[in-house]
Amino acid sequence: MSLVGKKAPEFKSKAVIKNKLDEDFSLSNFHGKYVIFFFYPLDFTFVCPTELHAFQEKLESFKIKNAQLVGCSVDSIYSHYAWLDMPKEKGGIKGIEYPLVSDITKDISKAYGVYNEDEGVAYRGLFLIDKDGIVRHEIINDLFLGRSVDEALRVLDGLICFETHGEVCPANWHEGEKTLKASKEGVVKYFND
């Protein structure tokens, strides 16, 4: 069941942020900011470090747009600490600066509908949450399919554009391209301009 258009499920959990522990981490800490909340299956795996580093490489692009990145897996904070201490060249995620939430109870991944019962881990779910805590976009990939950080940025840009201008974004839209009014006339004008 999709969470789009609904309040993002609230939680309190432990998280590691730049090798420091936050005992009471909550997405509500970011009220007034956009949040890209993403799940990955496990620390010390194979596709996951490529994604976490890809998000880190675009961290400033998210910050400029008033967006907070937050990663989450079913691992303990101790596993997060150990993986954050391992260099990238050895498969680690040293240098990741955004929060990594521990969902050791699996309650968070279940609340977001991404828990894979057979494997005991979360699918690669990504949720764009607006400044009021409403989920505006979600995408869930199977365990073996890495996601596109550029697509997460593109969808964030689309939400910001809609909120700013009140126009909708057509297929394959990117920031700076033309939008359209949500009406028959808007579609006609879009196709004829």
Q: Which residues of 149-183 are buried (b: 16+ CB within 10 A; e: fewer)?
A: beebbebbbbbbbeeeeeebbeeebeeeeebbeee
Sign of the four-CA dihedral 16, 53, 143, 43: negative
Q: Annotated catalytic residue: which of 48, 72, 161, 169?
A: 48
* Active-site annotation holds for 48: yes
Q: Tell me the C-alpha distance between 14 and 113, whole Å.
A: 20
Catalytic residue annotation: 48
